[in-house]
Amino acid sequence: MKAIVAVLPGDGIGPEVTTEAVQVLEAVGQRFGHEFQFSYGLLGGCAIDAAGNPLPAETVMLCQASDAVLLGAVGGPKWDDPTASMRPEQGLLGIRRVLGLYANLRPVKLVPALLHASTLKPEVLAGVDLLVVRELTGGVYFGPRKEATPDDQVAYDTMLYSRPEIERVTRLAAQAARERRGRLASVDKANVLASSRLWRRVVTELMRAEFPDVALEHVLVDAMAMHLIRRPAAYDVVLAENLFGDILTDEASMLAGSMGLLPSASLGEELNPHGQPRGLYEPIHGSAPDIAGRGVANPLATILSAAMLLRHSLGLEAEAQAVEAAVDAVLAAGLRTPDIADGAVEVVGTAAMGAAVVERL
Ligand code: NAD
Ligand code: IPM
Ligand code: MN
């Protein structure tokens, strides 16, 4: 197969981790006889610096002309001035919105070799295998807002959802649940928020009408934050609106052991020429300014995101599994980046970890 992958390395550790993921994709191409072409674009802080815009028009065109997008991370202290007119994060939200990527899949799976990398007890973690489906183009991230002015010192953001927005992401999550263990936990704050009451009603009605075979439960978000570290193995698919899903998945990353381990896939309705969704693939972590430029970031979240890219946007399931197996093998052999170094046989940097995955492939 021939495929075009847009690569948006972004800021901080973004370029470090995407370099490794691209090398892994190149190795997959060699081993399985595919031709992947990579086209690079600017997004985030680097785009503000170079083009005066966190999401330049060329970057949008580059993504639209590709089969899938691989993204590192954006943001950093350089662009953090709260009074700045442009923020790197606007670029990220913009590209998700422009590409119509309404569902963000964040799988959280315990790698047995990393049982001791987590801060939680092994007996709590045994059997953890969940998929968080985060709504990605609605809610408080995109609702009407007002910034404070020096005069009024009043600001607001609005959590806004419509029935079709809730229906489409619920359908995707329920379909995933049907292909997994048949259980869906929908997260909301229906005891307080009007948008959550609509969320709960729409989810209930859609599940009853279209997915009577999938077991549905509703969980309040505050309780879910607790359940996730009390009995994480009890969950299969977890469905959440944008902000709740963002927060819960950083928490859930510690079930796997590190932010540096969790991949994600953002999908929408648009198909690429392969007849698959033109997705965007990125680690759930940020630009990690505290470790950027030192070559110690864990590239596995981005490498595993590349595996999701092979699976969801190119339909290459065997190739995706080969990457996942290579990651498992490297971890089983005892290689660790510093974030998961507890009990390591060998502590390595970003490039050596990437090279080890390539070598297994
Ligand atoms: P962060 O995810 O960048 O870092 C949180 C902590 O996790 C840090 O201690 C960091 O060192 C560690 N960490 C993250 N990724 C790691 C990796 N691959 N290997 C090892 N350790 C890793 O979150 P933050 O510090 O709150 O945010 C920093 C910047 O990143 C902010 O500007 C924020 O807006 C941005 N951000 C971007 C994205 C994205 O581009 N998708 C996501 C989250 C945050
Ligand atoms: C993420 C990030 C982003 C989000 C920020 C950087 C806009 O935290 O991808 O999880 O909140 O969606
Ligand atoms: Mn986040």
Q: pLDDT tens digits, residue range 224-280? A: 999 999 999 999 999 999 999 999 999 999 999 999 999 999 999 999 999 999 999
Angle among Cα 328, 331, 336 to the nearest 5 degrees reads: 145
- Based on the fold, state whether residues 344 and 323 are members of the same structural domain: yes
Exposed, middle or buried by CB within 10 Å (0-12, 13-18, 19+), for 165?
Answer: buried
Pairing of strands 145-146, 129-135: unpaired
Q: Are residues 197 and 82 in the same domain?
A: no
Give yes or no: residues 250 and 268 share one domain.
no
Do 248 and 157 fall within a single domain?
A: yes
Q: What is the pLDDT of residue 107?
A: 98
C-alpha 166 chain-centroid distance: 19
In this structure, the answer to whether residues 226 and 338 fall within a common structural domain is no
Q: Examine the fold and report which residue of 207, 226, 256 is the final residue of a domain before the chain moves on.
A: 256
Q: Is 7 touching ligand 2 by the criterion CB < 6 Å?
A: no
Task: Quickly count: other Cβ atoms within 10 Å of residue 206's Cβ.
Answer: 18
CA 304 to CA 282: how far, in whole Å? 9
Q: Where are the alpha helices (DSSP H) in 54-150?
A: 57-64, 88-98, 122-125
Q: How many domains does the chain have?
A: 2
Res 212: pLDDT: 98
| Boundary of a domain, candidates 221, 236, 256 | 256
The predicted pLDDT at position 14 comes to 98
On whether both 190 and 205 belong to a single domain, the answer is yes
Q: Under a CB-based contact definition with an 8 Å cutoff, are residues 155 and 146 in contact?
A: yes
What residues are in contact with ligand 1 under a 6 Å CB criterion?
A: 13, 17, 73-76, 89, 92, 259-260, 282, 285-291, 297-298, 301, 339
Sign of CA dihedral 248, 249, 250, 254: positive
Structure tokens at 201: 């009603």
By alpha-carbon position, which residue is closest to atom 17 of ligand 1? Answer: 260
Q: What is the pLDDT of residue 22?
A: 98
Tokens of 44: 């985030």
Q: What is the pLDDT of residues 80-123, one digit of tens each?
A: 998 899 999 999 999 999 999 999 999 999 998 898 888 999 99
109 is catalytic: no
Annotated catalytic residue: which of 11, 67, 188, 246? 246
79 lies in the same domain as 173: no
What is the predicted pLDDT for the residue at 200? 99
Which segments of the chain have a pLDDT < 50?
A: none
CA of 215 to the centre of ligand 3 (A): 28
**Ligand 2 atom with the shortest distance to the CA of 282:** 9
The answer to whether the beta carbons of residues 32 and 67 sit under 8 Å apart is no
- Report which DSSP code applies to 271: B
Shared domain for 176 and 301, answered yes or no, is: no
Whether residues 34 and 101 share a domain: the answer is yes
**Pair 59, 88: CB distance under 8 Å:** no
* Per-position DSSP letters for 291-314, written without gaps between them: TTTTT-S--HHHHHHHHHHHHHTT
| Alpha-carbon span 354 to 330, nearest angstrom | 10
153 Cα to the center of ligand 2, angstroms: 26
User: Are residues 265 and 251 both part of a single domain?
Assistant: no
**Protein residue with its CA nearest to atom 38 in ligand 1:** 286
User: What is the distance in A from the centroid of ligand 2 to the CA of 247?
Assistant: 9
Say what the alpha-carbon torsion angle 42, 349, 34, 31 is, to the nearest 10 degrees. 180
What's the gap in Å between 213 CA and the centre of ligand 3? 32
- pLDDT, residue 118, reads 86
- For residue 343, what pLDDT is reported? 67
Cβ neighbourhood burial of 289 (10 Å; 0-12, 13-18, 19+) = middle
* CATH number of the domain residue 150 falls in: 3.40.718.10
Q: Which of 189, 235, 236, 339 is labelled catalytic?
A: 189
Of the candidates 256, 281, 309, which is a domain's last residue? 256
Residues β-bridged to residue 215 = 183
The verdict on 150 and 217 lying in the same domain is yes
The residue written with tokens 């902000």 in the block is 243
* Element of type H or E holding 49: helix 45-51
Gap from CA of 254 to ligand 1 centroid (Å): 14
pTM for this predicted structure: 0.97
Residues paired with residue 187 on neighbouring β-strands, in sequence order: 219
Surface-to-core class of residue 144, CB atoms within 10 Å of its CB (0-12 exposed, 13-18 middle, 19+ buried): exposed
Whose alpha carbon is nearest atom 23 of ligand 1? 286
CA 158, 164, 167, 171 torsion-angle sign: negative
Convert 331-348 to b/e letters by CB count within 10 Å (16 or more is b): beeebbbbbbeeebeeeb
Spatial contact of 295 and 18, defined as CB atoms under 8 Å apart: no
Whether 250 is catalytic? yes
Same domain, 124 and 237: yes
- What is the domain extent for residue 169? 118-256
